[in-house]
């Protein structure tokens, strides 16, 4: 999969997208990350990318021309063009799975008061929010989405780790995990996990998942019970 990111702050992506699982996905060519600095697509001497809003008001608006130029410089025929905004539909695991099946995703990161509406009207296929709170720009939401989308690409998670077993995907929250030592400062690992009895362990994990979901996310629990 290819992911293009249009941003005024490409350096923000270098650390988070260069480490651990996502960094490895890039190194192994499972994910191609194309960071594009919108400022490189200005045609004015001062590389200006924003201006005051028509009609007045606080803040600056990102101008259409550099963004149009940037988008016209790449192939977007078969691309989803995603604009991160609190006005968008709220991101979730189903949307991560849907996006992970695409060939090319383009993330347009707004900053300041956002981008000229004509960019959205002309180019954007999906407006997405990562939750009901307001951030200073679309870069962090883009990274959150890229992380959750990239891990769904076949081969990105190790063979042994399957997202199908885990929290949310299954409709339940995950059971607790423990590792060595079996006793730490007087606190013990549940006996059943040391038993070697896989059937019993599976049953315990399922019971815990149900219990935790009922307690912490009654909304998910109700949905699961109705399935």
Q: Give whole-number Cα distances, 184 to 177, 181, 192, in Å.
A: 14, 6, 17
CB-CB contact of 50 with 61 (8 Å): yes
Query: Does residue 61 touch ligand ADE according to CB under 6 A?
Result: no
Across 36-59, b (16+ Cβ under 10 Å) vs e yields: bbbeebbeeeeeebbeeeeeeeee
Structure tokens at 196: 């070697």
Shortest CB 134 distance to ligand ADE, Å: 5
Asked whether residue 133 is marked as a ligand-binding residue, the answer is: yes
- Which runs of E-coded beta strand occur in the chain? 2-7, 32-37, 50-51, 61-62, 79-90, 104-108, 126-129, 183-184, 187-188
CB-CB contact of 138 with 110 (8 Å): yes
Query: Does residue 172 touch ligand ADE according to CB under 6 A?
Result: no
CB-CB contact of 70 with 38 (8 Å): yes
| Residue found by looking up tokens 């192939």 in the block | 75
Shortest CB 219 distance to ligand ADE, Å: 20
Region from 12-20, 57-65, 133-141, 195-203 binding ligand ADE, contact rule CB under 6 A: 133-141
Structure tokens at 174: 């995950």
Q: Which of 31, 96, 106, 130 binds ligand ADE (CB under 6 A)?
A: 130
Region from 47-55, 64-72, 128-136, 149-157 binding ligand ADE, contact rule CB under 6 A: 128-136
Query: Does residue 66 touch ligand ADE according to CB under 6 A?
Result: no
Choose between 130 and 152: whose C-beta lies nearer to ligand ADE.
Answer: 130
Region from 30-38, 41-49, 81-89, 200-208 binding ligand ADE, contact rule CB under 6 A: 81-89
Query: Does residue 141 touch ligand ADE according to CB under 6 A?
Result: yes
Q: How far is CA 57 from the centre of its chain?
A: 31
Shortest CB 39 distance to ligand ADE, Å: 19
Q: Which residues are annotated as a binding site for S-adenosyl-L-methionine?
A: 110, 130-135
Residues that bind ligand ADE (CB under 6 A): 84-86, 129-131, 133-135, 138, 141
């Amino acid at each position: 999969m290819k992911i293009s990111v249009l941003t005024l702050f490409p350096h923000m992506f270098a650390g988070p997208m260069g480490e651990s699982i996502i960094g490895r996905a890039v190194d192994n060519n499972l994910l191609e990350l194309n960071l594009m600095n919108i400022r490189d697509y200005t045609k004015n001497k001062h590389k200006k990318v924003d201006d005051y809003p028509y009609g007045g008001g606080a803040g600056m608006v990102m101008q259409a021309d550099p963004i149009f130029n940037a988008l016209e410089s790449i192939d977007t025929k078969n691309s989803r063009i995603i604009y991160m905004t609190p006005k968008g539909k709220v991101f979730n695991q189903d949307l991560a799975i849907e996006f992970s099946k695409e060939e090319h995703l383009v993330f347009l990161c707004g900053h300041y008061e956002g981008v000229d509406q004509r960019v959205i009207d002309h180019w954007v296929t999906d407006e997405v929010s990562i939750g009901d709170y307001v951030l200073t720009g679309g870069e962090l939401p883009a990274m959150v989405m890229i992380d959750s989308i990239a891990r769904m690409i076949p081969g990105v998670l190790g063979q042994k780790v399957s997202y199908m077993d885990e929290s949310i995907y299954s409709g339940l929250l995950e059971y607790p995990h423990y590792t060595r030592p079996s006793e730490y400062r007087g606190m013990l690992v549940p006996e059943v996990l040391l038993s070697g009895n896989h059937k019993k362990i599976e049953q315990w994990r399922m019971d815990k998942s149900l219990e935790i979901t009922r307690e912490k996310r009654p909304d998910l629990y109700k949905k699961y019970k109705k399935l």
